[in-house]
Amino acid sequence: MLTPPAITLRAMKGRTRFIDIDNQEAGLAAAKINAATCRKGGKVLVLEPSEEAEAQSSRFLAFTQHFKVQGQSANLVFFRDTDHKHGPLEAFLATLRAHRDIRVLYGPFNNDFVEQIIKLGKTEAAIGDVAKIVHDLSVNSTQKLKDGLIDIVVDSNPAQEAFQATIFIAREHGFETTFTQRPVNF
């Protein structure tokens, strides 16, 4: 059974705390979805995070670790846009075309490069023919889901995290809240 990523309370220095999505669980959830998509064969083209953001790195590491534990590391093809200073989109397309057995495109982040890839999927069959799995549900990604440009979003909803943090903090200080929010679809 695939469970949605949990929202967790994490300790920082001293008494400071924050609530956020468990990015390791989000990466693991994405890995399980990708592995299932390729169950009958095929590979996953993984966009490597170029930034040292903790969330992206945690997702990426949990994702790749799952494939390693399952003995399926050979099913991963990696691409980092910053390795291609001139024409990263063309280099991405060349990678995609060189590996005709790619079934899924996975990005542990959303950035301008991912947006360019998704947009190009409207006219470029090599992109349009693969399943696209990304993170971070937003108005933009919701519309892309509706339009069929992406297939799955593993959600980390900052607004929901802020609401849950507010409720948590209020309860920690002895206040009950009646604040309600709509559930997030996973």
Residue type, 135: H
Per DSSP, 83 falls in state G
pTM confidence score: 0.75
Residue 163, pLDDT score: 72
Q: Which is it for the CA torsion 132, 147, 50, 2, positive or negative? A: negative
What is the spatial distance between Cα 104 and Cα 132, in angstroms, rounded to a whole number?
A: 6
Q: How many Å from the N-terminal Cα to the C-terminal Cα in the chain?
A: 13
What is the spatial distance between Cα 136 and Cα 154, in angstroms, rounded to a whole number?
A: 6
Residue 138, pLDDT score: 75
Instruction: Give buried/exposed letters for 45-72 (b at 16+ CB in 10 A, else e).
Output: bbbbbeeeeebbbbbbbbbbebbeeeeb
Residue 185, pLDDT score: 46
| Residue 164, SS3 per DSSP | helix
Q: Which domains does the chain have, with CATH numbers?
A: 22-172 (3.40.50.2300)
Residue 50, pLDDT score: 75
Joined together, the tokens standing for residue 130 give 């693969």
Full pLDDT tens readout for the chain, 186 residues: 444 455 454 544 555 555 566 788 888 989 999 999 998 999 999 999 876 778 888 899 999 999 999 999 999 999 998 888 889 999 999 999 999 999 999 988 878 888 899 999 999 999 999 999 988 777 788 888 899 899 988 876 666 666 777 777 788 788 876 656 555 544
Per DSSP, 73 falls in state G
Residue 3, pLDDT score: 46
| Residue 55, SS3 per DSSP | helix
Residue 80, pLDDT score: 92
Residue 14, pLDDT score: 53
Per DSSP, 40 falls in state T
CB-facing half-sphere around the CA of 167: CA atoms within 13 A: 13
What is the spatial distance between Cα 116 and Cα 135, in angstroms, rounded to a whole number?
A: 16
